[in-house]
Amino acid sequence: MHLFCVLIGVIALAGTAVHAQGETVAVEAETPAMQGPVYAPLSYDPYYVLPGGLGYTSVDMGVRTAPSTFKELKDVSDIVAMAKFSPHAHIELGVRLALGFFKDGSSNLSSLVVGSKYQLGPNRAATAGIALPAGDISDPGLAVGLMQTVRIGPAFRFNTRLQVAALKGYAEQGLVVDLLLEPAQVFSERLSAYLDLLLTSNTAALEDDLSVRLEPNLDLGLGDGTVLNVGVSVDLQGGDEREDVGLFVVLLRDM
């Protein structure tokens, strides 16, 4: 109940965004596994963040534009709102809304994903997400995954996440396979940089459905547990207009 109250408060802000954690963040793949129908994000968390520990609460809200239509921001922008809460030292629960107020052909509520992370160790977690039939998503979907961080020195780490998703909420046929490769460098308490490589495909046609996206992004610390994440998204494969670039701006805050 606490989690949903937090999310309702976030949506009421309607223009800013919130979520952050001592473990800094990096953008998650939102590319559909197949072209055509709308599919839900595989995870409730737009960022790579391991579970934060007992009582940890975080919310974020921001705007994300489609890479292939960057020149028409008002028509292709999704508003993303997420809240998560840790009721146990090893368990995190979360809910994520994609809102299509400014996106042509999209419902005001575009998608709804709920899920959980389970801490397997200091640098590893298992994930699960359920896409609910709501908004533009007609059928449920189920995604499971594994997160792993390798730390190289005090300021550099390499994050990986492998996710597999099934059911029509994620693909009409086959299984969606999604891989995040993310080098992350902390420069100071207020500045971190990430270079996300996102690969997504479907077991029914691995080569034909392959999407490759590069998303360089920065965390800018604003103080008092607030972080502004900004970045660009470039389709390297799988987009019809690869010269165009998407943009995302998200405000994140610990609570």
Domain ranges of the chain: 2-254
Q: First-to-last CA distance in the chain?
A: 16
Lookup: tokens for 252: 């994140």
The CATH class of the 2-254 domain is mainly beta
Lookup: tokens for 239: 């987009």
Cα–Cα distance, 42 to 173 (Å, whole number): 16
Which phi and psi angles does 124 have, rounded to 5°?
-150, 145
**pTM for this entry:** 0.82
What's residue 29's pLDDT? 42
What letter would DSSP give residue 70? T
Which phi and psi angles does 13 have, rounded to 5°?
-70, -35
What's residue 207's pLDDT? 79
HSE, CB side, 13 Å, CA atoms: give it for residue 83.
Answer: 12
Residue 95's beta-bridge partner residues?
A: 83, 114
The kind and range of the H/E element at 124 are strand 124-132
Reported as a single tens digit per residue, the pLDDT across 114-161 is 999 999 999 999 999 999 999 889 999 999 999 999 999 999 999 999
What average pLDDT is seen over the chain? Answer: 82
Reported as a single tens digit per residue, the pLDDT across 230-251 is 999 998 887 554 446 888 999 9
Cα–Cα distance, 53 to 42 (Å, whole number): 23
- As a residue count, the chain comes to 255
Reported as a single tens digit per residue, the pLDDT across 26-66 is 444 444 433 356 678 999 999 999 999 999 999 999 988 86
pLDDT (mean) for 177-186 = 97
What letter would DSSP give residue 14? -
3-state secondary structure of 190: coil
Cα–Cα distance, 232 to 176 (Å, whole number): 24
Burial label for 60, CB within 10 Å (0-12, 13-18, 19+), is buried
Burial label for 224, CB within 10 Å (0-12, 13-18, 19+), is exposed
Reported as a single tens digit per residue, the pLDDT across 7-30 is 444 434 333 333 333 344 444 444
Residue with tokens 């800013």: 16
Q: Which amino acid would we find at residue 145?
A: G
